[in-house]
Structure 1
Amino acid sequence: MSRSVALRYYILSRLLLAPLMIWVLITLVFLLLRATPGDPVDMVLGSRAPEEAKAAMRERLGLNAPLWLQYLHYLGDLLRFDLGTSLTTQGQSVWHIIQQYFPATVELTVFSMIVSVLVGVSIGALAASKPNTPLDAGGRLFGIITYAVPTYWFGMILQLIFAVQLRWFPIGTRFPLTEDPPIVRTGLYLVDSLLQGNLNAFFTSLYYLALPSLTLGILLSGIFERIVRVNLKQTLRADYVEAARARGIPEPRIVLAHALKNALIPVITVLGLTVASLLGGAILTEVTFSWPGLANRLYEAISFRDYPVVQGIMVFFGIIVAIASIVIDILNAYIDPRIRY
């Protein structure tokens, strides 16, 4: 079987498996929400509300129906692209909540990814180019620490140092409360600022984004540091690298121009897997920094037992992770000709 035919079969199989993965996620979220203690009606009306009012609300929301019937109704709504309406913010659809809060999460995720790749690849390349030295040991230690440190603890430490003590960065919002944010077109403050030609708003938005994105990006950079360090060490022992050294090519040029680009191929694969880690880390980062993103809204919905919002956001995140995984796998297959499926 030729490579192109095998690649088409692989892409088709991934596309067919993606709906199955999303269905499993939908089912797990639905069951886990209803298995955990707590009543959404008590969260909305209060535990001291009259039982008649509680019963009427449960009937209106369909919570009195058997679990299997609730599940079928939920799947039917999803097939019509209806994610439901929030229980705690009456009349607000889940789609509107996603549209309102997701841009802040996109900005945080994108800049965290940029920080993690730049920091991780730089430290990994530096450590691999100096094997069995303090730099190599420092790179290994950096990877272990960033993997083990909890996101919320690291975020609070950075807030105490850089926001409270040194007062270098703000916390708690995306834009100063005393100023008008950019006119919303995309919801991305950085993009909207540039569309308006407002450089002051652009740098202000970047200033407020800096500390949360550094927190999440540094913690995820350890993943890329370990991959680059291990693969670059193996690449530097390859025959073509030794041949380049024999021709008298300077070592920095060998590392950057010959070895590093081959060592970065696994990084492309990890990028897809890191999307899930970014979304998971974004929840803790947004809660720690009170960042008004979709992950923070998900945390609030879980706290208030807002079934439609939790289910809708989890489905939305699941679709993003599935699409990102498929795209990265396809790109990796095209970039690396050694891959066979």
Structure 2
Amino acid sequence: MNSAKQPRGSTGAGRRRPARPGGPLLWFLGRRLVAAALLCVGITLVAFVLTQLVPGDPAAANLGQRAIGDPEVVAAFRAKYGLDQPVPVQYLTYIGNVLQGNFGLSQQSHRPVAQDLAEYVPATIELALFAIVLSLLVGVALGVVAAVNRDRWPDQVLRVVSLGGVSMPTFWVALVAFYLLFFKFGLLPGGGRLDPGMSPPPYATGFYTLDAALAGQWDVLSSAAGHLVLPSLVLAVYTVGMLMRFTRASVLEILGNDYVRAARAKGLPERVVILRHVLRPAMVAIITVAGVAFGSLLSGAVLVENIFSWPGLGQYAYRSAVNLDLPGIMGVSIVVAAVYILINLLVDLLYGVIDPRIRLT
């Protein structure tokens, strides 16, 4: 008979694979963490090679014209920072120190790079978080409005707005916003994280808004939030335009599906149809773009932070590049790479939360 049992040891087409211990989520996290570690090592290698190829002498950039003429001073500087060793030895020494949490000694601040990063990174992350939340709220909402009103005047206007947002250079927007909103009309605070003469809140997270709220310093909280608005608006201009375009395209694609037409045929309100049946599946593409945009905000805030005197990672990276501070440049590269990898991991995990059809296999 055709219903005879399959011989032992044979593998049928419909036979399930044995379940992995710990479940697919742990396997997925394990694979991604291993890949993240390898990516970090590769990024350090690329960054180290590129910094070695940059024309210029770190000793000349840091010692000045008088000291560079003294061979003993130059030799002492190179020995202090390990620049007298061969390049492969320098890289292996650096990797060994990084594995122990030692990013080296900054040549510009003469402090450990890890201490500098702990001071500057929270300021940039606070600014980027504020900008990405603002971008999501505005960009997604306007993108849905444009898609629902396809080819009508709201859609036409919003498409022009989104095109302008992605086309205008960020540094130009920053200069115009600083001149109009601060210098000309005085509507928003200008540079820095707090008003002049105001002391930072007790350190807890490095985020002035959160630290001030935890300490109950509401005047400091108000000042910190006010100083966040202008640079966050500038950073959000490009991201809002990009999110509007992606949201509009994703929503238009989903609006043509049968289950959306069925929901409307049942008499569900348009608001319920958009929020439950359209926006949720569209969020997969939107979150992907938002994750990439958040990483870009961290790495692209150099000009904005310099214009608004924001003491963050951008200013530290700029000074490190100008002074050929190799440990500082490497530290910034590792931090930005780690943030990118972490954001991509969180985005992948959110896929399964938003869309239950996606499985981590």
| Residue correspondence of structure 1 range 83-94 to structure 2 within 5 A | 83-90=103-110, 92-94=111-113
Q: Write the mapping of 1:97-136 to structure 2, written as runs, cut at 5 A.
A: 97-136=116-155
**Distance in structure 2 (CA, Å) of the matches to 1:184 and 1:337:** 40
Aligned match for 2:238, one of 206, 209, 219: 219
2:94 counterpart SS class: helix
Q: CA RMSD in A?
A: 2.0
User: Structure 1 CA distance, aligned partners of 2:206 and 2:157?
Assistant: 40
Question: How far does residue 173 in structure 1 lie from its aligned partner after superposition?
Answer: 0.5
Cα distance, 1:182–1:11 mapped onto 2, change above 3 Å: closer
Q: Is the 8 A contact 2:166 2:237 kept in 1?
A: no
Q: Point out which structure has higher relative CO (alpha carbons under 8 A, 6+ apart).
A: 1
Superposition map of 1:193-212 within 5 A: 193-212=212-231
Q: Is the 8 A contact 1:115 1:218 kept in 2?
A: no
3-state SS in 2 of match to 1:173 = coil
Return the alpha-carbon distance in structure 1 between the equivalents of residues 230 and 117 of structure 2.
Answer: 24
Q: Does structure 1 residue 23 correspond to structure 2 residue 29?
A: no
Matched, 1:70 2:90: yes
Answer whether contact 1:269 1:332 (CA < 8 A) is retained.
no
- Report the TM-score, using the length of structure 1 for normalisation: 0.93
Amino acid at match of 2:35: L
User: For the residues of structure 2 that align with 1:88 and 1:250, how far apart are their CA atoms?
Assistant: 61
For residue 36 of structure 1, what is the aligned residue in structure 2?
Answer: 54
How many Å separate the matches in 1 of 2:278 and 2:140? 13
Which protein is bigger by CA-based radius of gyration?
2
Q: How does 1:121-270 map to 2 (within 5 A)?
A: 121-270=140-289
1:330 aligns with 2:349: yes
Q: Between Structure 1 and Structure 2, how many residues are aligned? A: 340
Out of 297-306 and 271-280, give the one that drifted further.
Answer: 271-280
- 2:268 and 2:148 map into 1 onto residues whose CA distance is 15
Q: State percent identity of aligned pairs.
A: 34
Output the CA distance in 2 between the equivalents of 1:284 and 1:267: 26
Q: Which amino acid aligns with 2:84?
A: N
Q: How far 1:185 moved relative to its partner?
A: 2.7
More displaced, 6-15 or 193-202?
Answer: 6-15
- The question of 1:301 aligning with 2:293 is answered no
| Letter matched to residue 26 of structure 1 | T
Aligned AA for 1:87? Q
SS of the residue corresponding to residue 66 of structure 2 reads: coil
Contact 2:198/2:220, CA 8 A, preserved across alignment = no
Can you list the C-alpha shifts for 1:248-284, whole angstroms capped at 9, x where unaligned? Answer: 3333332234322222222223333223212122223
- Larger helix percent: 1
SS at structure 2 position matched to 1:222: helix
Contact 1:162 1:169 in 2 (8 A): yes
Asked if residue 55 in structure 1 is aligned to residue 75 in structure 2, the reply is: yes
Deviation at 1:307, TM superposition (A): 0.9
Query: How far did 1:88 drift?
Result: 1.6
Secondary structure at 2:101 match in 1? coil
Residue segments in structure 1 that go unaligned for 5+ positions in a row: none
Q: Which amino acid aligns with 1:25?
A: I
Mapped to 2, the partners of 1:11 and 1:193 lie a distance apart of 35
SS of 1:185 mapped into structure 2: coil
Answer yes or no: is the 8 Å Cα contact 2:194–2:223 preserved in 1. yes
User: How far apart in 2 are the matches of 1:185 and 1:10?
Assistant: 33
- Taking structure 2 as the reference length, what is the TM-score of the superposition? 0.88
- Which whole-Å deviations, capped at 9, do the CAs of 1:267-318 have from their partners, x for residues lacking one? 2233332232121222232122111112211111111111111111211221
Q: Which amino acid aligns with 2:31?
A: S
Q: 1:331: Cα distance to partner?
A: 2.1
Closer, same or farther: CA 55–185 of 1 in aligned 2, 3 Å: same
* Range 264-273 or range 297-306, more displaced: 264-273
- Equivalent position SS for 2:65: coil
TM-fit CA distance, 1:9: 4.2
